[in-house]
Structure 1
Amino acid sequence: METTVFDTALGTFGIGWTADGVARLQLPGLDADDMVEWINSKDAVPGEPTRAVEAVINLIEDYAEGNVVEFRDVRLDLQGVPEFHRRAYELLLDYGWGQTTTYGELARALGDVTLSRAVGQAMGSNPIPLIIPCHRVLASNGKTGGLSAPGGAESKLRMLALEGVAVGAPAGQMTFGF
């Protein structure tokens, strides 16, 4: 896997990719040295982004500036990711800018509402947050739930606010400013 770090309006991101697609993304929150160390862990090495990776970086930069961006068409490399997690991520990719769901709703869509905790574990293990938008998954009470990225729930709230989502509103609802 090759990697690079890049600056955005939200802070420094790290991205890792293979010939199959984006395999790793680190959200802002680490200092520069820690970001480079984290993104280059597990046999990854710094590389020069391909045109496809540059396009993804541009989308992330646009997102960080508050532009409506969809990542649905980004090629992903999910090798080594458990099948259940892949299925949960696949469903989540259908939730676009400003849309939210709950752990329970995803579990129900996967066939069993009792899988809510397993969905939470899948979201916590998401190797490509933002692109696989785990920040759009809320607890059943409309609260944030967790986020395993640096900054945790505060980062989740920032991303949701950027998308116009008022946390505490029913899942699937966003604020309209009036």
Structure 2
Amino acid sequence: MERAYIPTPLGITKLEGDENGLRAITVMNTEEEPTEIIPEVLEDGAYQLKEYFHGKRKDFTLDLNPQGTDFQKRVWQALLDIPFGKTTSYLELSKTLGDVKAIRAVAAANGKNPLWIVVPCHRVIGSDGSLTGYAGGLHRKKWLLDHESPVQQQSLF
């Protein structure tokens, strides 16, 4: 398993993967030193994340290899269908997966998403529009949703 640490506007991000694909992308809450030489199997992931943060990428084209239960993988796959700049609720996601009663399980699987940003769990909000739970912190969720918003806030000054 290869690892690399890259700087992003939201903190140092750790990429983990091998020839089978990216296994994890995690924003760190500690100050790791950025990796000087990115392992070849992680180069494309680092490059595409850089493009995303510079506003030049809306979709990722990476080989993914997350580890989880079959149910978690179904939820993570459904997250990939949420378009850039859009949001959905945990309830709607549960309906999409065919079981409205599974809302808590869907929320739990969403919270275990190992592929930060690429599998866009930040696009899932409460039914009332509130920013609910986010493993990376609500300030990061807000930043990501603002970054992806088709309507950019204009400054008056």
TM-score range, shorter chain: 0.7 to 0.9
User: Aligned residue for 2:63?
Assistant: 75
User: Aligned residue for 2:148?
Assistant: 163
Q: Give yes or no for the alignment of 1:49 onto 2:39.
A: yes
Q: Secondary structure at the match of 1:143?
A: coil
- Superposed CA deviations along residues 33-68 of structure 1, whole A, max 9, x for unmatched, are 6x99xxxxxxxxxx8522x52122111111122334
Label 1:176 to 1:13 Cα distance change in 2 as closer, same or farther (>3 A): closer
Q: Secondary structure at the match of 2:145?
A: helix
User: Aligned residue for 1:98?
Assistant: 85
Identity of aligned residues (%): 31
Q: Mapping of 1:7-86 within 5 angstroms?
A: 7-32=7-32, 48-50=38-40, 53-71=42-60, 73-79=61-67, 81-86=68-73
Q: Under a length normalisation based on structure 2, what TM-score does the superposition of the two structures give?
A: 0.87
Partners of 1:176 and 1:137 in 2: CA distance: 20
Structure 2 residue ranges without an equivalent (≥5)? none
1:86 CA drift (Å): 0.5
Do 1:10 and 1:64's aligned partners in 2 also have CA atoms closer than 8 Å?
Answer: no
Amino acid at match of 2:145: L
- Superposed CA deviations along residues 68-124 of structure 1, whole A, max 9, x for unmatched, are 4212x3111123x01111001111111232111111111111111111111110111
1:176 CA drift (Å): 6.4
Partners of 2:17 and 2:57 in 1: CA distance: 23
User: Aligned residue for 1:6?
Assistant: 6
Partners of 2:50 and 2:108 in 1: CA distance: 28
- The number of residues matched between the two structures is 153
Partners of 2:55 and 2:10 in 1: CA distance: 10
User: Aligned residue for 1:119?
Assistant: 106
1:9 CA drift (Å): 3.5
Q: Under a length normalisation based on structure 1, what TM-score does the superposition of the two structures give?
A: 0.77
Structure 1 residue ranges without an equivalent (≥5)? 37-46, 165-173
User: Aligned residue for 1:40?
Assistant: none
Q: Secondary structure at the match of 1:8?
A: coil
